[in-house]
Amino acid sequence: MWVLDKTDHTSFVNQQMAKMLGYSVTDMLGMSFLDLIDTEGSSMAEIYLNQRHQGIMGQHRAHLCHRDGKVVWVLVSATPLFDDMGQYDGCIKLVTDITHMVEIQEALQTSEAQLASVLNSSLDGIMAFRSLRDETGEIADFIWLLTNPTAGKLVGRSPPKLIGKQLLEEMPGNQTDGLFDALVQVVESGEPFQYEFHYQHDGIDCWFENVAVKLGDGFAVTFRDVTRTKQSEKALQQVNQELEQRLDDLKQRHQEMVILGEINEFLQACNNVDEAYEAIARPVAPYSSQSVRVVCLEPVVPATGLKMWLGGGLICIQQLILTLSIVGDCAGVVPMK
């Protein structure tokens, strides 16, 4: 309790009030109320005092100066006093120390400002939900508590308009793809859930990477659009498949060239057509449906002409087998016994 006289000086103060400001009761007697108000709050203090002089009761917050210089936040309830002639004779102030509460509020405001800064600048979408339970206690839906600007852009909706809405009413595709059941499991088990999925509902066609964690009786989720990454992965897979196919083709051509090289070497050593047929049959036999033995009844082409024809190395294995079959038919090729 703090009592001021008509000149706004202290006429009475109890022990609790004096201790609150770091003084003794004797020290405070005679001190002006304005002497215990810091410069910042002095103008408002004068307004409040003028109201008391006018006979107006009031309640307000103020910050007083502790003896050691620190600020003491107080809640003041003031009642004016009058003498027998109805003249202002001072006021009684009931003062409550609210410093701790003010510090908590300031810390909360700072945290909210920092959180808002993080949410507004995040490149990831961030949402928070609380559970909506039915009469049996089962989770029937989730209510939007928070949505940052990036999340609004990713789902094509205005964040303020989502607050208070139900998830399944606004985006029913979550239930179709089994996402809702996974989110319920996060809330009930407390285990985080990380997943990628292709969302093709509610006007959205994107690949998302999500991480959901329990938050009270609900959950918070961060997510990002990974559609371009998925498209790049698909394109890379197609390129790899094409490269593998080309590599297989190169391996096959290499094998063909090796065989042609062997045939060419054999032909260079042949002196007649019979030897040429036998030279061709040996390297080609592994690629034929059956082994063959060549018996030449009559020369079909001169040996030198056969060397020049096959020695160029431009004939493929299939053509070579077909040629051998044709030449064999003309020259009397018969299966080996």
- The predicted pLDDT at position 275 comes to 66
CA–CA distances in Å: residue 51 to residues 36, 57, 65: 19, 7, 22
283-320 pLDDT, tens digit each? 556 555 444 444 443 444 444 444 444 444 334 444 55
Last residue of a domain, one of 103, 137, 171: 103
| Closest among 277, 274, 249 to 263, alpha carbons compared | 277
Q: Is residue 37 part of a domain?
A: yes
Does residue 79 sit in the same domain as residue 157?
A: no
pTM of the model: 0.51
Q: Is residue 116 part of a domain?
A: no
Q: Is residue 110 part of a domain?
A: no
Does residue 40 sit in the same domain as residue 82?
A: yes
Does residue 128 sit in the same domain as residue 71?
A: no
Both tokens of 305, joined, read 């002409």
Does residue 186 sit in the same domain as residue 213?
A: yes
98 contact partners, CB below 8 Å, separation of at least 6: 61, 73, 74, 75
Catalogue the E-assigned strands of 119-205. Answer: 125-133, 139-147, 193-199
Does residue 10 sit in the same domain as residue 93?
A: yes
- The predicted pLDDT at position 220 comes to 94
- The predicted pLDDT at position 280 comes to 63
Q: Is residue 277 part of a domain?
A: yes
Q: Is residue 162 part of a domain?
A: yes
Q: At what angle do helices 317-331 and 227-268 cross, to 10 degrees?
A: 30
- Looking up residue 201, the CATH number of its domain turns out to be 3.30.450.20
Does residue 254 sit in the same domain as residue 221?
A: no
Determine the structural domain holding residue 192 and report its residue range.
123-225
Q: Collect the ranges in the chain with pLDDT lower than 70.
A: 263, 266-337
Long-range contacts of 278-286 (CB under 8 A, 24+ apart): 280/310, 280/320, 280/324, 281/324, 283/259, 284/259, 284/317, 284/320, 284/321, 284/324
88-113 pLDDT, tens digit each? 999 999 999 999 999 999 999 988 88
HSE-up of residue 193 (Cα within 13 Å, Cβ side): 21
Q: Is residue 230 part of a domain?
A: no
Total structural domains within the chain:
3
Q: Is residue 232 part of a domain?
A: no
- The predicted pLDDT at position 285 comes to 60
- The predicted pLDDT at position 334 comes to 40
Does residue 11 sit in the same domain as residue 97?
A: yes
Does residue 210 sit in the same domain as residue 276?
A: no
Q: Is residue 111 part of a domain?
A: no
